[in-house]
Amino acid sequence: MANILIIGGSYFAGRVLVEELCRDPNHDVVVYNRGNLPLPKAPCLTQLQGDRTQAADIRSVIPARHWDAVIDFCAYGPDDVRTLLDNLPGRAAHYLLLSTTSVYRPTPARLSEEAALLTQPDPAQGAQADYAFQKRLTEQAAEALCSARALPLTIVRPAMIYGFYNYAEREKVFFDALIDKRPLPIPTESSGRYSMIWVVDLANLLIRCLNNPLSHGQVFNAAGPEAVSYALLLRSLEQILGKPCQVVHYTPAQIRDERPTLPFPPDLQLLYSGALAGQRLGLTYTPLRQGLRAALAHYVRCRRAVRQRSNYATPKDG
């Protein structure tokens, strides 16, 4: 039985990882977070509530076990890693840190794990600049702390994640438009190209890393091989639906003046190579159209369930 501690894990990628782990009865999964979004109950799952920034919470709430792996989804600064590792009850055999491809210096090239990293906030990243730099500092803290403890470390840097439970305004913008029979917002002049990863592929990458010597001391980009563009997204959705999608086109001037909700920046090149995870761990990436098909079906079911609950709770007229 493998004891796995997940820090965070209620939202999006963490939630999907918990679901995937609980398919295997040999996993005993403990999730520690603030409890804002409880997970469905499962025989292999224990949910603990506490604040990861508070040493007293960590020491008193998390049980003292041999942790085969600690997977950290919500470390956003060096102190987060330090507080966790300094106060974690029991002993960890492997620490996995979820970072981001935003820690690389922006460039139009497709970036591997060897690419240059941020040394200061990059204004080109806009509102994400401080977040990205703090994640890089978090990686550095994890490297130093794990080295001092002889604790094997794996860093995973996902590109844009899409799929089940995604709360970000990414594919959800297109899905809502399709369900509500509204046109999809499409830039007329878009040079943007993006690496993306289906959330289930990210979960499978993490599972392949768990206490795996091939992952120790490694950094892995989590990024599918396709260069995703607005044109590819539109074409994929039309192939899924079997018919053309209604669209509304926005010129650069309209984007500047009207500020429509666009799921992806129209003019950025955010391309990364996820080949190392395939070469070293045998990970295969799900094609975009296949992942979008599954994500859309899941989103439609969730929207329908929310609407049914709302209708049930609303008094009927007359």
As a whole number of angstroms, the distance between CA 32 and CA 166 comes to 20
Between vectors from CA 152 to CA 151 and to CA 153, what angle results, nearest 5°?
110
Give Dmax over CA atoms of the chain in angstroms: 70
Please check whether residue 245 is in contact with residue 234, taking contact to mean a CB–CB distance below 8 angstroms.
yes
Task: Give the residue-averaged pLDDT of 11-37.
Answer: 94
Q: Report pLDDT for 232.
A: 97
Task: Give the residue-averaged pLDDT of 120-130.
Answer: 89
Burial 202-223 (b: 16+ CB within 10 A, else e): bbbbbbbbbbbeebbebbbbbb
pTM score of the predicted model: 0.94
Average of per-residue pLDDT values in the chain: 93
Q: Report pLDDT for 151.
A: 98
Q: Is the pLDDT of residue 6 over 80?
A: yes
Specify which of 39-43, 52-56, 168-172 reaches the highest per-range mean pLDDT. Answer: 52-56
Q: Report pLDDT for 108.
A: 84
Q: Is the pLDDT of residue 61 over 60?
A: yes
Q: Is the pLDDT of residue 304 over 90?
A: no
Position 107 confidence tier, pLDDT thresholds 50, 70, 90: confident
